[in-house]
Structure 1
Amino acid sequence: MGDAIENEHQCTCKIGRDIDRYDLDGLNGELQHRRDVADASLRTLADYINERILETALAEAETDLTDVAYGAVSADDALSAVYETLTSDTAPADREARVRKRFEQNGIDLEELESDWVTHPTVRSHLNDCLEIDTARPTKITAESARNTIEWARTRCTRVVEQTISRLVSAGIVSIRDTEVAVTIQITCSDCGSTFRFGELLEHGSCPCSADETT
């Protein structure tokens, strides 16, 4: 499987062509992580790929759609909001029209972009045939996979905070020099109030009140 991940540019399926066309280096490794560790569905993976394609097209056109991304507080949120507006059957028609107009104004061929988007059957074929990932095999959580998932979520949260601070600085709302963002994950038992870091909870295996119930 390692060779399949490393040689992603040798894949000739639609996702392989998208990787080459949009320079999505590392996509296969991210798909494997999200499927095996985060237990992402095929539909979720398809949306992830399509958002990466959208992100690349916007970056190449130097286009910022934050102002038409309803409720967005970060670049990632704006990207997801724009994608949802373009793909959701329940998105208001006027909002979709504004987004599509902005693409047109910035010279982005949205129809061509949408034709490069993928569906979950395409993702299934790519995982099975190109990456040798058995999508029929149910995933089982382990302590190590849970640790990896928590770390992935913490890293993503840190990135969102960093992007938000950067936007605040750019907008002149706050003034600060170099920043270092730290996100800490803590789990608190609502019954006894014991608080753990995630690694501590794994090590102990239970909180004091739960341990008392089993003795």
Structure 2
Amino acid sequence: MAEPNESDSDGGTNPGSNSKVAKVIRRRGLDGLGDELVEHWTGEGTERMSLRELADHFNRKLLAQTLRDGSMTTLDGEPANIYRLLTDDSVSSGAAVQATNRLEQHGIDVERLTAEFVSRQAIHTYLTKYRDVSHSSSDGDPVETETTNVQRLKRRMTTIIESKIERLRNTDRLALGEFNVLIDVRILCEDCGAQYQATELLERGACRCPQKSP
């Protein structure tokens, strides 16, 4: 789905004319990001994401573009950590200040950057009013839905662990070469002792246990 024309977003009669997401996309040259949001929300040809996940996705893309504009060199996984330092309430004030100071040393206006970060409500307004996209409720196969949810949780867990390991390695608190995080979620049937990958069991639809008589 193509991005609406700029004229569509600036006229006061368009319901999405005040879309913060649309304005940031145009102002910061984030071409194609609007289409990504649509695809991830509807699940067309890609993983379906929640509004909260979409807001984080958008903000990380904005941060990455800002780092490029500031010619700031980063290590793998570092942009994700910078985003966490700027947005996570559990981060200490000292760590947040250090991240802010580093960005400002590269000429990045952190106050302006964080003001451009969007909320889940801003994403919803952009998708439903500016892009005129509807989000169908999950009326399909519940097994397929839960299989997708399990896969998403595995990816999320992998990302979180990778970020933590990267942070320790980059601060010389952990000696480690190139690495991969492998998440193996298995289901153990207590009746017969059989084990399955979580997604494998969902696809099978049943354990190997003999069918019990009524």
Given the two structures, how large is their TM-score scaled by the length of structure 1?
0.62
Q: Distance in 1 between matches of 2:111 and 2:23?
A: 17
Asked if 1:191 is matched to 2:168, the reply is: no
Structure 1 residues 26 and 155, CA gap change in structure 2 (3 angstroms): farther
> Which of 15, 23, 28 is the matching residue for 1:17?
23
**How much has 1:183 moved relative to structure 2?**
5.4
Structure 1 residues 185 and 9, CA gap change in structure 2 (3 angstroms): farther
Structure 1 gap segments, 5+ residues each: 67-72
**How much has 1:199 moved relative to structure 2?**
5.1
**How much has 1:17 moved relative to structure 2?**
3.0
Structure 1 residues 106 and 141, CA gap change in structure 2 (3 angstroms): farther
Q: Secondary structure at the match of 1:191?
A: coil
**How much has 1:10 moved relative to structure 2?**
3.3
| Aligned-partner residue type, residue 104 of structure 2 | E
> Which of 76, 84, 87 is the matching residue for 2:87?
84
Q: Distance in 1 between matches of 2:65 and 2:103?
A: 13
Say whether the 8 Å CA contact 2:187–2:195 is kept in structure 1. yes
Structure 1 residues 77 and 212, CA gap change in structure 2 (3 angstroms): farther
Aligned positions, number:
193
- Percent identity between matched residues is 18
Say whether the 8 Å CA contact 2:60–2:80 is kept in structure 1. no
Provide Cα deviations, 1:142-195, integer angstroms capped at 9, x if missing partner.
Answer: 34444555556667748x86xx79xx7xx9x6678xx9x695755322525423
> Which of 63, 85, 94 is the matching residue for 2:72?
63
Structure-1 residue corresponding to 2:36: 29
| Aligned-partner residue type, residue 102 of structure 2 | R
Structure-2 residue corresponding to 1:204: 204
Q: Secondary structure at the match of 1:99?
A: helix
Structure 2 gap segments, 5+ residues each: 10-18
CA RMSD across the alignment = 4.3
Matches within 5 A, 1:1-215: 3=1, 7-8=2-3, 10=5, 12=9, 13-20=19-26, 21-34=28-41, 38=48, 40=50, 42-63=51-72, 74-75=77-78, 77-85=80-88, 88=89, 90-134=90-134, 138-140=137-139, 142=141, 143-148=143-148, 157=158, 186-189=185-188, 191-192=190-191, 193-198=193-198, 200-209=200-209, 212=211
Q: Secondary structure at the match of 1:8?
A: coil
Q: Distance in 2 between matches of 1:60 and 1:96?
A: 21
Which structure's residues are more often helix, by fraction? 1
Q: Secondary structure at the match of 2:196?
A: strand
Provide Cα deviations, 1:105-140, integer angstroms capped at 9, x if missing partner.
Answer: 1110112222322223221111112333335x6445
Given the two structures, how large is their TM-score scaled by the length of structure 2?
0.63
